[in-house]
A and B are shown apart, each in its own frame.
Chain A
């Protein structure tokens, strides 16, 4: 019975039904299914389909957010168990909108998609000074720092963060994104990756972590 429920859970995540998602998650927990298995075989396959449909322009941001809300309803039941059992996340990412920039919806969507993909997300918010990124990276030892900027007048702030992170000799990859960001700009400022939207950010983050594992 449980095996069918994993598939059903994926389906309700795709449909964005948060009430049913929480109910199925609880049923699976009652049937003593491990929280990690519920995440890996119920929630993540559902969110992967959502991500794929978003990339292919079949669905748009609102549908992604509706699915994410269903995911969050399930995760609220799973998170206490996952935390207590010290299960390792996909990776850790520190997110923030660079100094001078006050826009955050794009960054928030990236954070939500990252959580859906099993990342631990530390969100520093908006208008974040470079020193704060360095300080947090030193303390939390993330795999990735994700920088967001919306306008050409603030995207230059990304370069300052990268310089300070490199000067601090921190072993962390830097992913950048936002409306004005291009591949050329990414290379110019020495970032490790560029994401054109939230699902792309998850893919690039996974790639950076896989590449890191291969070299270590």
Chain B
């Protein structure tokens, strides 16, 4: 608890799920170009696989105080969040897991360049990257589920700055509680997370109800 954990995940351990790729790219199974697109996706993934460098970082903190005002939450000794949504998420939580997960920064310029020369290929590669970061999050979630079970808890739903009732600007508080720069993840002045295919958020550890 309280320690910042960083884990690099070999790309071979992530599965590229067809269903997720289809969802991100809006590919319908009855599309006339379904097979062509999936051939392209397979080729792109084979070609650019070494450019993906998945890594996640998380920290589990005790929920110290959930204010009666309905918005303020204090984690550990110094992490403060404000928002109706995060307050609702952690109102009954014993711990909170804060995380950043990314597919790496090497792929971003490749996607940008590809979108200039071949928009379709660039679009497909962006979808691959989005699906892979989702797959990475699945791995992180499994690890957090184990940690929650060890505390006789279960994991809540995932929530993040920018979702309904939680201001995107709260990303800066989440970033302050971790060390995302160690895994080359940064926040822009407009609170965008860079690299683009990165996810941040919070899970609550809620005591199991019998």
> Which of chain B's residues 102-125 have a Cβ closer than 8 Å to chain A?
112, 115-116, 118-120, 122-123
Chain A residues with CB under 8 Å of B209's CB are none
* Contact residues of A between 169 and 196, Cβ < 8 Å to B: none
**Which residues of chain B are near A151, meaning CB under 8 Å?**
162, 168, 190, 192
B190–A101 contact, CB under 8 A? yes
With contacts A16-B33, A65-B123, A102-B188 taken as known, whether A60 is within 8 angstroms of B196 at the C-beta atoms is no
Complex Cα–Cα for A16 and B189 (A): 40
Q: A40 → chain B, closest Cβ, in Å?
A: 23
Q: What chain A residues lie within 8 Å of B196 (beta carbons)?
A: 102-103
Q: How far is the CA of A133 from the CA of B30 in the complex (A)?
A: 42
- The answer to whether B26 and A153 touch across the interface, beta carbons within 8 angstroms, is no
Give the residues in chain A near B189, CB-CB below 8 Å: 100
Among residues of B, the one whose C-beta sits closest to the C-beta of A109 is B119
Total residue contacts A-B, CB cutoff 8 A: 69
Contact A69 B118 (CB under 8 A): yes
Contact A62 B33 (CB under 8 A): yes
In the complex, what distance in Å separates the CA atom of A65 from the CA atom of B25?
A: 11
Say whether A105 faces chain B, with CB atoms less than 8 Å apart: yes
Q: Mark A130-174, 1 if CB is under 8 A from B, else 0.
A: 000000000000000000000111100000000000000000000
Measured between C-beta atoms, what is the minimum distance from B35 to chain A in Å? 12
Q: Is the CB of B126 within 8 A of A105?
A: yes
Cβ of B143 under 8 Å from chain A: no
| B118 closest partner in A (C-beta) | A69
A61 in contact (CB, < 8 A): yes
- Mark A23-55 against chain B: 1 for CB-CB distance below 8 A, else 0: 000000000000000000000000000000000
Chain A residues closer than 8 Å to B162, beta-carbon distance: 151
CA distance A69 to B33 in the complex (A): 13
The answer, yes or no, to whether A66 is at the interface (CB within 8 Å) is yes
Determine if B115 and A61 form an interchain contact, defined as CB atoms under 8 angstroms apart.
no
Chain B hits for A16, CB < 8 A: 33, 36
**CB contact between B26 and one of A60, A69, A101, A103 (< 8 Å): that residue:** A60
Q: Which of A58-76 contact B (CB under 8 A)?
A: 59-63, 65-66, 68-69
Choose one: A59, A100, A104; the contact of B115 (CB below 8 Å). Answer: A104
- Contact between chains at B190 and A68 (CB < 8 Å): no
Does A15 sit at the interface, judged by CB under 8 A? yes
Contact with B along A93-107 (1 / 0, CB 8 A): 000000011111100
Q: A100-B190, A101-B192, A103-B196 are in contact. Are A62 and B119 (CB under 8 A)?
A: no
B33 and A66 contacting across the interface, CB-CB below 8 Å: yes
B119 touches A65 (CB 8 A): yes
Does chain A have a CB within 8 A of B191? yes
Are A61 and B26 closer than 8 Å at their CB atoms? Answer: yes
Q: Is B37 among interface residues, defined by CB-CB distance under 8 A? A: yes
Q: Which of A63, A102, A109, A152 contacts B33 (CB 8 A)?
A: A63
- Is A201 part of the contact surface with B, judged by Cβ < 8 Å? no
Extra pairs beyond A65-B123, A105-B122, A153-B169 (18, CB < 8 Å): A15-B32, A16-B36, A60-B31, A62-B25, A62-B31, A62-B37, A63-B31, A63-B33, A65-B120, A66-B36, A66-B120, A69-B119, A100-B190, A102-B194, A103-B196, A105-B123, A108-B115, A151-B168
Q: Residues of B at under 8 Å CB distance from A?
A: 25-28, 31-33, 36-37, 112, 115-116, 118-120, 122-123, 126, 162, 168-169, 188-192, 194, 196
- Offer 9 A-B interface pairs, CB within 8 angstroms, sorted by A: A62-B120, A63-B31, A66-B37, A102-B194, A105-B115, A108-B116, A151-B190, A152-B168, A153-B191
Q: Which residues of A contact B (CB under 8 A)?
A: 15-16, 59-63, 65-66, 68-69, 100-105, 108-109, 112, 151-154
